């Protein structure tokens, strides 16, 4: 990162610079935000020789810019809604002030077409995060609105390069046009899968990397549905952080299960010779599918993973579970199957799911009561019980929690904001409720989120 100007740091990559070519920055305006982030409709070519209509993007074309921030430093971004429907933008995993969290009615009014909203973000933690709309969420994310956000570590670990991989599907027919974004019968089960796997909006891209160098690969699964098993073959690599939090010990990066909303940071030692390509693949029923290829170039830099400094843990408060009160959440079917309430933020027209037997009614100005009231500063164990035969990546806004135990498997001592709850699993996590406000709490399979598996937790002073 040495020698980069602040602007390059904020823009992050060549991709970003292209996305903002043409004066996206408002650097000369009085009180200018650090970044102006338009949300726009666009056409783009995902499948070869086709142009996909009805896509949506951050910026003015192409995949979303990588937003780079610094730990503990204030970053302002003006989200400008150039769509012809309402939106809001949420900063997934950032433990920030509630009014900046980007959830319709819980934290702000939806941003109407033509309007903008200034977000002021002071990220307390370093790591790999992401951003996406929280209004018309299925349609807007499925059409392209998912971006990666990096909070730089205060101290560099010694990588030669940082490579962000935004992994997601698009649901396209062979003509390159969007298929129906979901099927109701799937929404009531595991969700509707996309048809085209992409990395940074490209199908099986190849990245040239300096031979023998150390690369921090930041994988973010921003798909709306797919819970995938990802493997990296052909190189010496270690997972060093999951969901933005450093692992106490790096682990072999063999097969990683990454659910929607989750991230994995992998330290990769690029092989020495050009023919030693490295492959990132997704496990499928038909065998491994290549998502991206990495090709060593040039003379070997001869570096070694042992040269990397360990990442500093994030300042997430530590809980003494013995002093914590337990709060239970049950995830299951919707008891009555009522239609959701009409909302400016869209509905899918069905209610299939619930938390504590109450289905989220939709994003409306007076939402149902919070699922739990937590006292600011107090320790809690949250017990997640999955009554359903489907897995759910359960996500809480505004806090990180530590995994404690499960009735099905040993759990690593991870700190995270999104945990994959397996079918019929009961799992406990611990947190200090240190961030006041109403915090959205939902499954990150967006069809589940939008058909009832949503609620919120109130942390009060």
| Contact set for Cu ion, span 58-97 (CB under 5 A) | 92
Residue 134 binding partner per list ligand C2O, Cu ion, none, with a CB distance cut-off of 5 to 8 Å that depends on partner kind: ligand C2O
Residue 445 binding partner per list ligand C2O, Cu ion, none, with a CB distance cut-off of 5 to 8 Å that depends on partner kind: Cu ion
CB of residue 223 vs ligand C2O: minimum separation in angstroms? 12
Q: Does 399 bind Cu ion (CB under 5 A)?
A: no
For residue 441 the two structure tokens come to: 């709490």
Among 68, 70, 95, 134, binds ligand C2O (CB under 6 A): 134
Binding of Cu ion at residue 443 (CB under 5 A)?
Answer: yes
Q: Could you tell which of Cu ion, ligand C2O, none binds residue 448, using a CB distance below 5 to 8 A set by kind?
A: Cu ion
Q: Is 355 in the site for ligand C2O (CB under 6 A)?
A: no
In angstroms and rounded to an integer, the radius of gyration of the C-alpha atoms of the chain is: 21
Binding at 168: pick from Cu ion, ligand C2O, none (beta carbon under 5-8 Å per type): none
Position of minimal CB gap to ligand C2O: 92
Q: Which of residues 275-294 bind ligand C2O (CB under 6 A)?
A: none
Stretch 136-175 residues interacting with Cu ion (CB under 5 A): none
Q: Is 442 in the site for ligand C2O (CB under 6 A)?
A: yes
Q: 70 vs 450, which CB is nearer to ligand C2O?
A: 450
- Is 440 a binder of ligand C2O (CB under 6 A)? yes
What is the token pair recorded at 7?
A: 């602007």
Show the CA angle centred on residue 14, arms to residues 157 and 306, nearest 5°: 20
Cβ atoms 121, 100 nearer than 8 A:
yes
Any contact of residue 36 with ligand C2O (CB under 6 A)? Answer: no
Interface pick for Cu ion out of 392, 399, 402, 442 (rule CB under 5 A): 392
Q: How far apart are CA 178 and CA 144, in angstroms?
A: 11
Give the helix ranges, DSSP H, for 367-445.
Answer: none
| Residue 60, both tokens | 């003015």
- State which residue, 159 or 456, has the beta carbon closest to ligand C2O: 456
Nearest distance from C-beta of residue 392 to Cu ion, angstroms = 3
Structure token pair of residue 317: 């408060």
Give Cα 81 to chain centroid, integer Å. 21
**Secondary structure in 3-state letters for 257-311:** EECCCCEEEEEEECCCCCCCCEEEEEEECCEEEEEEEEEEECCCCCCCHHHCCCC
Binding residues among 187-246 for Cu ion as defined by CB under 5 A: none
Please tell me the distance from the alpha carbon of residue 38 to that of residue 123, in angstroms, as a whole number: 21
Q: Which pairing describes strands 392-396 and 437-443: parallel, antiparallel, or unpaired?
A: antiparallel
Asked if 90 is part of the footprint of ligand C2O (rule: CB under 6 A), the reply reads yes
Nearest to 181 by CA among 221, 138, 222, 225: 138
Among 68, 70, 92, 171, binds ligand C2O (CB under 6 A): 92
At a CB cut-off of 8 Å and minimum separation 6, what does 202 contact?
none
Both tokens assigned to 251: 């682990």
**Residue ranges in 252-271 that form contacts with ligand C2O under rule CB under 6 A:** 261
Give yes or no for residue 346 binding ligand C2O (CB under 6 A).
Answer: no
Stretch in the footprint of ligand C2O (CB under 6 A) among 54-62, 156-164, 288-296, 440-448: 440-448
Residues that bind ligand C2O (rule: CB under 6 A) add up to a total of 10
> Are the C-beta atoms of 424 and 324 separated by less than 8 Å?
no
The piece of 26-34, 36-44, 339-347, 388-396 that touches Cu ion (CB under 5 A) is 388-396
Q: Which parts of 133-275 fold into alpha helices (H)?
A: 137-142, 184-187
Distance CA(86)–CA(194), nearest Å, equals 24
Would you tell me which residues interact with Cu ion (CB under 5 A)?
Answer: 92, 392, 397, 443, 445, 448
By CB under 6 A, name the binding residues for ligand C2O: 90, 92, 132, 134, 261, 395, 397, 440, 442, 444
């Amino acid at each position: 990162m040495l020698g980069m100007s602040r602007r390059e740091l904020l823009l992050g990559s060549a991709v970003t610079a292209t996305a903002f070519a043409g004066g996206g920055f408002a650097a000369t305006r009085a009180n200018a935000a650090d970044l102006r982030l338009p949300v726009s409709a666009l056409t783009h070519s995902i499948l070869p020789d086709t142009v996909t209509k009805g896509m949506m993007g951050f910026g003015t074309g192409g995949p979303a810019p990588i937003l780079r921030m610094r730990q503990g430093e204030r970053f302002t971004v003006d989200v400008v809604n150039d769509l012809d429907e309402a939106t809001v933008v949420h900063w997934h995993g950032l433990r920030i002030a509630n009014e900046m969290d980007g959830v319709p009615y819980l934290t702000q009014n939806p941003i109407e077409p033509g309007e903008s909203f200034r977000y002021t973000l002071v990220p307390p933690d370093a790591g790999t995060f992401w951003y996406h709309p929280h209004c018309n969420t299925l349609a807007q994310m499925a059409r392209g609105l998912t971006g990666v956000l990096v909070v730089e570590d205060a101290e560099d670990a010694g990588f030669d390069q940082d490579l962000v991989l935004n992994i997601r599907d698009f649901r396209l027919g062979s003509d390159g046009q969007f298929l129906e974004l979901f099927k109701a019968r799937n929404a009531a089960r595991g969700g509707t899968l996309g048809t085209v796997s992409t990395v940074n909006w490209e199908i099986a891209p190849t990245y040239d990397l300096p031979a023998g160098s150390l690369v921090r690969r930041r994988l973010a699964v921003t798909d709306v549905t797919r819970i995938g098993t990802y493997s990296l073959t052909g190189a010496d690599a270690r997972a060093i952080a999951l969901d933005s939090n450093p692992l106490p010990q790096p682990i072999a990066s063999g097969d990683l299960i990454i659910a929607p909303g989750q991230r994995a940071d992998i330290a990769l030692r690029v092989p020495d010779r050009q023919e030693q390509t490295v492959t990132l693949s997704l496990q499928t029923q038909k065998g491994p599918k290549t998502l991206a290829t990495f090709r060593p170039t040039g003379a070997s830099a001869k570096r070694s993973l042992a040269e990397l400094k360990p990442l500093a843990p994030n300042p997430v408060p530590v809980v003494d579970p013995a002093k914590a009160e337990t709060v239970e959440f049950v995830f299951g079917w919707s008891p009555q199957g009522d239609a959701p309430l009409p909302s400016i933020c869209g509905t899918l027209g069905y209610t299939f799911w619930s938390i504590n037997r109450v289905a989220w009614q939709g994003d409306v100005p007076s939402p149902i009561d919070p699922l739990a009231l937590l006292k600011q500063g107090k320790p809690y164990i949250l017990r997640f019980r999955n009554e359903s035969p489907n897995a759910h990546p359960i996500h809480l806004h505004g806090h990180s929690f530590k995994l404690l135990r499960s009735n099905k498997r040993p759990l690593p001592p991870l700190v995270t904001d999104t945990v994959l709850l397996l079918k019929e699993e009961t799992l406990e996590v611990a947190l200090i409720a240190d961030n006041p406000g109403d915090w959205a709490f939902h499954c990150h399979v967006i069809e589940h989120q939008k058909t009832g598996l949503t609620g919120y937790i109130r942390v009060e002073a």
